[in-house]
């Protein structure tokens, strides 16, 4: 079985995606069992990743999947909204073009792996569409009214009739409406997926522990380090979602979702080291590249943290 991991990437997330890639590659024991497909939203991203020449990575330029209809839609959407619109488009493209891929899984750029994600698919081999439950802590449960039960940071589709049917439906909904606001029962690309279990066969939420842990649910768990593995209570942490993490420069970052007083060291230290390594790799490829966020544009008064002391 070959898993295809799909990422939609602009230059503002390039550092994080290089860190994400290395976390994925270092945790999957069988390098022949996966490929990473990256949809490059700009020329800078494509050029730098081409120079890095990462193993098992296939780069797709935006113009290869854009249609006249998509170009028309793009005119009315912000960059993040257009990237969200393209999630089902890109997943469907990969499934149709790369016939050796048995399953496609979208990954947000701000994910990071601490364990092998292959267990997710081994544990639920007959499921066509795998969704991720936000699993909010009681403190943040109110957010579900806006963001929905399902988090689209990781969503997976098997190469079968149910997977294709659901992907087509999701794509059509995103074409119709995909904006960074709540409107009725809609929010971005995400809240559509709440309806998938009722509309399609073969849909289930991921039941493997340690997946998509994030600021909105982390307080439900105790994090410890054992034999170089992060434990989540008694289970291994597989994937953490660094939602709200923004790189300001090569020395500093901030957290837009500042829901904890300080980053949890056992989670953040490996990630920060991976980010620093990514910055070094990208500087070697292009010393003039700048993919950092401007703090003034983030709308956050959050604390600024040092990447390294």
Share of the chain above pLDDT 70, in %: 96
**Tell me: the pLDDT tens digits for 17-32?**
999 999 999 999 898 9
Q: Terminal CA-to-CA distance of the chain, rounded, Å?
A: 43
User: Are residues 308 and 53 in contact, defined by beta-carbon separation less than 8 angstroms?
Assistant: no
**Tell me: the pLDDT tens digits for 240-273?**
999 989 999 999 998 887 676 678 889 999 999 9
Q: What is the mean pLDDT of residues 112-117?
A: 97
Closest CA relative to residue 133, chosen from 109, 106, 154, 112: 154
User: Are residues 188 and 212 in contact, defined by beta-carbon separation less than 8 angstroms?
Assistant: no
Q: What is the mean pLDDT of residues 282-293?
A: 94
Give the predicted TM-score (pTM) of the model. Answer: 0.96
Range of the domain at 288: 3-306
Q: φ, ψ for residue 168 (rounded to 5)?
A: -60, -45
How far apart CA 114 and CA 193 sit, in angstroms, is: 26
Report the domain count for the chain.
1
pLDDT-derived band at 294, boundaries 50, 70, 90: confident
- Let me know the angle formed at the C-alpha of 43 by 304 and 7, rounded to the nearest 5 degrees: 65
How far apart CA 248 and CA 232 sit, in angstroms, is: 29
pLDDT-derived band at 304, boundaries 50, 70, 90: confident
CA dihedral (128, 134, 135, 140) in degrees, to 10, reads -170
SS3 30: coil
Residue 106 pLDDT > 60 = yes
pLDDT, mean over the chain: 94
Say which CATH number the domain at 247 has.
3.90.550.10
């Amino acid at each position: 079985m070959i898993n295809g991991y799909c990422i939609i990437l602009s230059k503002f997330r390039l550092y994080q995606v290089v860190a994400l890639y290395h976390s994925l590659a270092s945790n999957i024991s069988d390098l022949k069992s996966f490929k990473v497909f990256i949809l490059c939203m700009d020329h800078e991203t494509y050029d730098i990743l081409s120079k890095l020449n990462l193993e098992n990575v296939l780069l797709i330029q935006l113009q290869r999947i854009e249609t006249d209809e998509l170009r028309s839609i793009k005119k009315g959407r912000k960059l993040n909204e257009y990237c969200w619109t393209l999630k089902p488009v890109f997943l469907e493209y990969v499934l149709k073009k790369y016939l050796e891929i048995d399953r496609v899984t979208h990954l947000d750029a701000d994910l990071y792996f601490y364990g092998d994600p292959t267990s997710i698919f081994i544990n639920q081999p007959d499921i066509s569409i795998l969704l991720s439950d936000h699993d909010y802590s009681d403190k943040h449960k109110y957010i579900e009214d806006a963001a929905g039960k399902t988090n689209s940071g990781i969503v997976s589709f098997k190469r079968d009739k149910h997977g294709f049917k659901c992907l087509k439906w999701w794509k059509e909904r995103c074409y119709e409406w995909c904006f960074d606001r709540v409107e009725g029962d809609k929010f971005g690309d995400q809240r559509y997926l709440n309806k998938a279990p009722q509309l399609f066969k073969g849909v289930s939420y991921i039941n493997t522990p340690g997946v998509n842990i994030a600021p909105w649910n982390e307080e439900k768990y105790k994090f410890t380090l054992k034999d170089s593995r992060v434990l989540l209570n008694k289970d291994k942490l597989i994937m953490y979602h660094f939602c709200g993490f923004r790189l300001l420069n090569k020395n500093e970052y901030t957290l837009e979702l500042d829901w904890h007083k300080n980053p949890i060291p056992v989670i953040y230290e490996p990630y920060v080291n991976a980010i620093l390594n990514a910055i070094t790799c990208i500087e070697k490829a292009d010393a003039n590249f700048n993919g950092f966020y401007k703090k003034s544009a983030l709308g956050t008064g959050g604390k600024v943290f040092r990447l390294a002391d």
